[in-house]
Chains A and B, each alone.
Chain A
Amino acid sequence: MGNKTTMHEKETLDNLEKLGIDTNSIIAVLETDLDRPANYGKTTLIALPDSLCVLSEDGSFFIKNYKNITNLYTDIYVSSGSIIIKEGDTLNAVADFTLAVSARVEWFVNIINKLIAGEEPNAEEGSIRQNADFEYINNGRKKLFLRVLSYVPRYKKHLIAIMSIIVFTTLVNLIPPYLSGSILYDEVLSPNGKYQGAILPLVSILIAISGLTVLFGILLGRIGAEMSGRIIYDIKTEVFSAMQNLGMSFFSSKRTGNLLNRINSDALDIQYFLNDGLPNFIINAATICAIGIFLFIVNPLLSVAVLVPVPVIALIIKKSTRKFKKIKWHSWRRSSTMNSVINDTLLGVRVVKAFGKEETEIKRFNESSRLLAENKVREGIAAARVFPMLSFIMSLGGLIVWGLGGGQVIRGELTFGELMTFVGYLSLLYAPVNFMVKTFDWWTNCMNSAQRIFEVIDRKTDVAEKENAVEVEVEGNIELKGVTFSYEPNRTVLKNVSFSVKKGEMVGLVGHSGAGKSTITNLITRLYDVNDGEVLIDGINVKDLSFACLRGSIGMVLQETFLFEGTIGENIAYGKPDATSEEIAEAAKKAYAHDFIISLPDGYDTLIGKGGADLSGGEKQRISIARAILMNPPILIFDEATSSLDTKTESQIQKAMDFLVKDRTTIAIAHRFSTLKNADRLVVVEKGEIVEEGTHEELFNKKDGVYSKMAHLQLDAIKMESSS
């Protein structure tokens, strides 16, 4: 599409020159894909130094001077949007677009608003937001296949071994029909044959050959498994390290969620293909060619007759595979529906019983179970129809050979042994055809999987470490300057947020849920990059700091404490893997975690995480506090859980926190007064903007203040609780 756009743009530029606009002064150009609401077409918007020019496809245009524009913004509907211009109190739509260009629209609207405000815009196209959902890389069929194969040559020895075995097996496979046909009947059994009576040697040779084939098969399987295993290991390693380097936005997008879920099964698909599909495909293809050539040399007429059913067989297999796939897929869908009904009722058993809905649930289960059973029957019926048909057509091929060949034998044009050889080869021929058609399906699966996997590997990270990133000793001054941010285009989450935290200060972030508090911390740790404005640590833009330096300087105690699978000791040492056991215990003691850890039978070696011991919310939180204490970072970010803890746990956590925040720059997202009162300053966030700033006392007593209202509500709740 890229090429087309520039061509269009050239055309547009020519038109502009005709209108008397100096094209050299153009700052940015946007082409939308609708010419009016709900109609595909094109509207061109041009950012000039002092005005915005809007050009319709029919050549009509209008120009708005920035002086008269209050601002420009977008409205997003179900799968389209409008760019709206505000001039004083008047609103008008200037252009419409679909989601296909929304990222570009956001970029352009941003530029115009900068120009309106008299600021220098960043019009570089590179600043268009990269959104995992918004770009789709099509690797192309051939490139994809070659890329999968490109992993193979790293294992040259394996490859050579596999190829030799394949060639050898193919050749050896061709011998038995000849021996049990021409040789057996014409030379061994016939009275004037060359090897008359030599039954025993013949049988021995046949046994030896099948033994050899089995041996080769085992060898091929082993080498193939080793090679494909390693290739898959390579691919998985590459995917995993690519994933670790991607920005957070990649992981939170829905589409990539699906992508990630499938990586393991995708890797398996590729492995199956490389392991079984590809070698067998080559063997079978080679066998078919070899047999074909051989048959033609022996008896051209008969070979043509033999080959007649082949296309018919291929066609039937291809058609039926598609049908089977569809039925199988439906079965799969229906069984997962059934499973989710079971899951629902088991997990929600209290709700089901409380509402007396057992009957409804039984009905729901029966219905989905019935649908599944029906589909299983369809599966059986389809199989029962196709396979007899196939064997009938294959036997038809045999009958043709018997009929035509029999005639030739009677006329003496063909020996009986040769006829038997033909029949033997015939059976060797049809099996590979069946296999080849199926391999095609396999191949498609493998390429689908490869496409998804390479999409992850190739994804450009949106939060990248600068090449000349600096490494400094962080003191802990934090400053946000005019920060604007949105997770998705056109849904601004933070708007022009500015505040600073001095070294050693503790600032509490307060606000309703969804106000954007956690988002602010995400930007300070650079899990995401700001859209506008800057985040500074000790006066240095976080984009200029190395990841090691940035993240090594910030300790996090998060709302949803994540503990990795491993021991408690290992979890505490996550941020400082070289910590001694004494340091770990020391940190746990300070975090008021030591006591409960020691009362566990396995102490610091207690396994937690999946399959390990279950810890309470308060215990998990104290472990993560210990983690932060051990790491001893100059900056601490604390995202407090809203769920209330019992008084004793709360006071312990409070004490742990008191220790933790001492001599450290702290940003605490807190809900409890006990935490908030300790803060040097509070910053109140409301709908993505900072609305109040000051100490707890100042804000608490401020009439009609946001914080004051929130605090009084909470106080009332506490009073009600204690009086009841």
Chain B
Amino acid sequence: MQEKINFINVDDLEFYTSDTSLLFLRYKGEDLGRVSIIRMFPFKYEEEYIVIRQENYSRFDKENEIGILRAVNELPESQAKLVFEELKKRYFIPEIISVSEVKEEFGSATWKTVTTAGERDFTMTDLGTNVRSLANNKVMLTDVYGNRYYIPDITKMDDKTQKVLEIWI
């Protein structure tokens, strides 16, 4: 256990990836193997305050915190790119671009949508808890499986979607 949070000096970091784009790290010249990166404030800061942990393949060994990266763009461009890719994968929350069909029935709602990650149909229940409105008209949806979707501006969505969501926002 570390007593103090280690704010990492970016010069000590050297990320690299495998063929299948898993993220690995050499820290102060030492190869630490696979690492995971976690946003400390996922809603507030997307590219700042990133925790880096050493990850043993066994889920039983406690993951080991290496330290905190204050801002991704302190890294050289090629390194930052690797981190952004990893963040994109770990925080896969597709943005809903357009909605072709909405059906609301008995407190559950089914959407047929096109998202930034491709076409997707999903069902939500218990709209009261699974629709989370954030600042600036942003809305986060969670489907029955726990998958999340993101609406950047609810006022720009189609009428039907707004109508289904408005009472929960």
Contacts and interface: CB of A to CB of B under 8 A. Distances in A.
A78 B90 contact: yes
A687 B106 CA distance: 42
Contacts of A451: 106-108
B167 A41 contact: no
B117 A102 contact: no
Interface in A435-465: 444, 447-448, 450-452
B108 A329 contact: no
B39 to A, nearest CB: 9
Interface in A467-511: 491-492, 495
B159 interface: no
Contact of B60 (A94, A139, A688): A688
Interface string A79-92: 11010101000111
Contacts of B36: 75
B161 to A, nearest CB: 15
Interface in B15-40: 18-22, 34, 36
A136 B144 contact: yes
Interface string B115-134: 10111101101100100000
B144 A133 contact: yes
A240 interface: no
Nearest to A131: B145
B61 to A, nearest CB: 8
Nearest to B62: A687
B92 A448 contact: no
A326 interface: yes
A574 interface: no
Given A37-B92, A40-B120, A77-B90, A92 B105 contact: no
A38 B166 CA distance: 28
A326 B166 contact: yes
Given A134-B145, A448-B107, A38 B120 contact: no
A99 B57 contact: no
A37 B18 contact: no
Interface string A130-147: 000110101101001000
Contact of A136 (B60, B93, B108): B108
B118 A39 contact: yes
Interface string A410-449: 0000000000000000000000000000000000100110
B167 A329 contact: yes
A40 B92 contact: no
A494 to B, nearest CB: 10
Contacts of B42: 78
A41 B147 contact: no
Contact of B118 (A40, A77, A96): A40
Given A41-B118, A452-B107, A687-B62, A91 B146 contact: no
Nearest to B122: A100
Max chain B C-beta neighbours (<10 A), residue from A98, A102, A144 = A98
A92 B19 contact: yes
A426 B57 CA distance: 77
A93 B23 CA distance: 11
Given A40-B115, A40-B120, A492-B60, A92 B146 contact: no
Interface in A210-228: none
Interface in B70-92: 88-92
A448 B18 CA distance: 49
A73 B57 contact: yes
Contacts of B122: 100
A255 B125 CA distance: 9
Contacts of B118: 39-41
Contacts of A96: 89
Interface size class of B (residues with CB under 8 A): 35 or more
A136 B117 contact: no
Interface in B139-161: 143-148
B59 interface: yes
Given A37-B92, A136-B125, A451-B107, A92 B20 contact: yes
Contact of A258 (B94, B120, B129): B129
B21 A100 contact: no
A79 B93 contact: yes
Contact of B93 (A37, A78, A102): A78
B117 A39 contact: yes
Most B CB contacts (10 A, CB to CB) among A79, A80, A93, A94 go to A79
B145 A687 contact: no
A79 B89 contact: no
Contacts of A82: 22, 89
Contact of A326 (B21, B91, B167): B167
Contacts of A106: none
A38 B89 contact: yes
A39 B21 CA distance: 14
Contacts of B88: 37-38
Interface centre among A38, A102, A136, A451 (most CB of B within 10 A): A38
A448 B126 CA distance: 10
Nearest to B168: A329
Contacts of B146: 79, 99, 133
Nearest to B146: A99
Contact of B57 (A37, A78, A84): A84
A144 B106 contact: yes
A60 B147 CA distance: 28
A232 to B, nearest CB: 19
Given A37-B88, A38-B117, A258-B129, A79 B148 contact: yes
Contacts of A141: 105-106
A91 B22 contact: yes
A138 B60 CA distance: 38
Contacts of B22: 82, 84, 91-93
- Count chain A CB atoms within 10 A of each CB in B21, B57, B148, B166 and give the residue with the most: B57
B129 A94 contact: no
A687 B91 CA distance: 27
A655 interface: no
B106 A448 contact: yes
A55 B115 CA distance: 24
A450 B21 CA distance: 47
A464 to B, nearest CB: 23
Nearest to A450: B106
B17 to A, nearest CB: 10
Nearest to A95: B20
Interface in A27-84: 34, 37-41, 73, 75, 77-80, 82, 84
Contacts of A134: 144-145
Closest 4 CB pairs of A and B: A40-B118, A37-B89, A451-B106, A448-B107
28 contacts: A40-B115, A40-B118, A75-B36, A78-B90, A78-B91, A78-B92, A79-B148, A80-B89, A80-B147, A91-B34, A93-B21, A98-B145, A99-B146, A100-B143, A100-B147, A138-B108, A138-B123, A141-B106, A144-B106, A255-B126, A258-B126, A325-B167, A444-B106, A447-B106, A448-B107, A451-B108, A687-B61, A688-B60
Given A79-B146, A91-B34, 11 more contacts: A38-B92, A38-B117, A39-B117, A77-B91, A79-B93, A91-B57, A92-B20, A133-B144, A255-B126, A492-B60, A687-B61
